[in-house]
Amino acid sequence: AQTVTQSQPEMSVQEAETVTLSCTYDTSESDYYLFWYKQPPSRQMILVIRQEAYKQQNATENRFSVNFQKAAKSFSLKISDSQLGDAAMYFCAYEDGSEKLVFGKGTKLTVNP
Amino acid sequence: GAGVSQSPSNKVTEKGKDVELRCDPISGHTALYWYRQSLGQGLEFLIYFQGNSAPDKSGLPSDRFSAERTGGSVSTLTIQRTQQEDSAVYLCASSSLLAGGPNEQFFGPGTRLTVL
């Protein structure tokens, strides 16, 4: 079965600094998608960024970018110029056409002013 | 509304009672998902609907849990004879399931269930 591991239960960053959240996954599939979701205290899960496994180019969305290493099965999220509104739980997720998302246990990000 | 909505937002019930949780997906989304988020357990997949059919019920933890979807829209998750371990946030998501594309799921705000 596919598994997703987030090894950092908690992380903190100073406002305006850069932070990287780690994610590794295990799969025998060659085609799949990876996602980072943000969950603020309101509980609403919000998609931050996604990556198609067949694309070598790392996805970027404004201040958010990923470092996708397919061979290493690693999918880290980099947040640049961190803002107070970035404080939330961040979940890494995997999907391979089975329709369901497999999530990691999450990383709680604190942004210090 | 534009997003996925869920009701109630919070539900407190006594052990042994039945509860129903409701999800209204984004209009036009054919796929609907239920997940459970327990403290320390992350998000667990429960069930997935394509239209009114449920091709994958593999995540339902016991036969006390059931779900249905009517008219390809609203879904209800029912938990019978609730137990304290059922306490969790129940999240619903919907997706348009574009062929060959990423299954981008849009989530509702969840229902927090507390079983006393």
The answer to whether the Cβ–Cβ distance between A105 and B40 falls below 8 Å is yes
Residue A101 with chain B: CB contacts under 8 Å? 33, 35, 43, 45, 103, 105
pLDDT, average across residues A59-66: 94
Instruction: List CB contacts of B10: < 8 A, sequence separation 6 or more.
Output: B111, B112, B114
Cis peptide before B55 (omega within 30 of 0): no
Percent of chain A with pLDDT over 70: 100
Percent of chain A with pLDDT over 90: 82
The answer to whether the Cβ–Cβ distance between B42 and A98 falls below 8 Å is no
pLDDT for B2:
79
Q: Which of A44, A47, A51, A107 to mutate to test the interface with B (most CBs of B within 10 A)?
A: A44
Task: Give pLDDT tens digits for B71-108.
Answer: 889 999 999 999 999 999 999 999 987 655 677 899 99
CA angle B26, B30, B34 (to 5 degrees): 75
pLDDT for A2:
84
A4 pLDDT more than 60:
yes
pLDDT for A55:
87
